[in-house]
Amino acid sequence: MVQKLDTLEETPSQTAGPYVHIGATPNFAGIGGIYPEDLGLKPFPDDAEGERITIRGIVHDGTGTPMRDVLVESWQANADGQYGPGTQGWARLPADQENGIWTLETIKPGAVGAMAPHIALWIVSRGINIGLQTRIYFDGDDLSADPVLARVEHRNRLPTLIAKSDGPGSWRFDIHLQGDAETIFFDM
């Protein structure tokens, strides 16, 4: 026998289920009057410095169907590559209940150390037993020295992490849970 370690195990995850929006964004879910507004409506105040951008995307399940009950959270640095203060940089992106499109109106993040500009995403829904971590990088940025992307063995999968411009200040980033274009998910 040996001594017991003092560290505790993390509490196990469980799926967010079909009604995650009741807890996370009740006003969006049609439950008004409890909170004045939902948390995470926008990541930065309107007067924050930086280039204003809009990113839209759909999370597709393994059959290609848009996941209309998905909740995405985003976390990013400001235009100077700094995190915070307060809740700045964080947003909650409930998918549109009709078409599954989530929309992030934000500012383009700056590089963080050697990491190229990126936005971390955390994806939960019914059927996802533990939240999925991924990242948005931006087409046209120099990604060659990014230490996270450098660790990806299958270089042909890198495009799944790179948003494509589809207009001035407008970006598209679709996520695929399975299939030929399965998005890279991280454990970090």
Partner 1 sequence: MTLIPRARAQHPLAYAPGYKTSVPRSPKLALISMPATPTEDTGPVFGQSMLGELDNNLVLNLTGDPAIGERVLVHGRVLDQSGRGVPGALVEVWQANAGGRYRHKKDGYLAPLDPNFGGCGRAITGEAGTYQFLTIKPGAYPWPNGPNDWRPAHIHFSVFGHAFGQRLITQMYFEGDPLIPRCPIVNTIPDQSAIDRLVAPLDMNGSKPHDFLAYKFDIVLRGTRQTLFENKKEGM
Calculate the alpha carbon distances from 42 to 52, 72, 105, 118, 129 in Å: 12, 13, 7, 17, 27
> Of the candidates 131, 141, 158, 174, which one interacts with partner 1 according to CB under 8 A?
131
The residue (of 15 and 88) whose beta carbon lies closer to Fe ion is 15
Q: Which helix (H) or strand (E) holds 94?
A: strand 90-94
Tokens found for residue 181: 């274009």
| Nearest distance in Å: CB 173, partner 1 | 16
Which listed option, Fe ion, partner 1, none, makes contact with residue 73 (CB within 5 to 8 Å by class)? partner 1
Q: Write out the binding residues for partner 1, residues 136-155 only, by CB under 8 A.
A: 147-148, 151-152
| Nearest distance in Å: CB 153, partner 1 | 8
| Nearest distance in Å: CB 188, partner 1 | 5
Tokens found for residue 73: 């959270």
Tokens found for residue 97: 């209940």
Contact assessment for residue 60 and residue 182, using Cβ atoms and an 8 Å cutoff: no
**Part in contact with partner 1 (CB under 8 A); list of ranges 11-19, 48-56, 100-108, 166-174:** 11-19
> Of the candidates 3, 30, 47, 167, which one interacts with partner 1 according to CB under 8 A?
30
Could you give the CA distance from residue 6 to residue 29 in angstroms, rounded to a whole number? 42
Which listed option, partner 1, Fe ion, none, makes contact with residue 48 (CB within 5 to 8 Å by class)? none
Quick note: the x/- pattern for partner 1 over 60-89, rule CB under 8 A, is -xxx-x-x-x---x-xxx-----xxxxxxx
Q: How far apart are the first and last CA of the chain?
A: 32
Measuring CA to CA, which residue among 130, 150, 139 is closest to residue 172?
A: 139
Cis? peptide before 85, omega within 30° of 0: yes
> Of the candidates 44, 53, 90, 171, which one interacts with partner 1 according to CB under 8 A?
90
> Of the candidates 3, 11, 99, 156, which one interacts with partner 1 according to CB under 8 A?
11
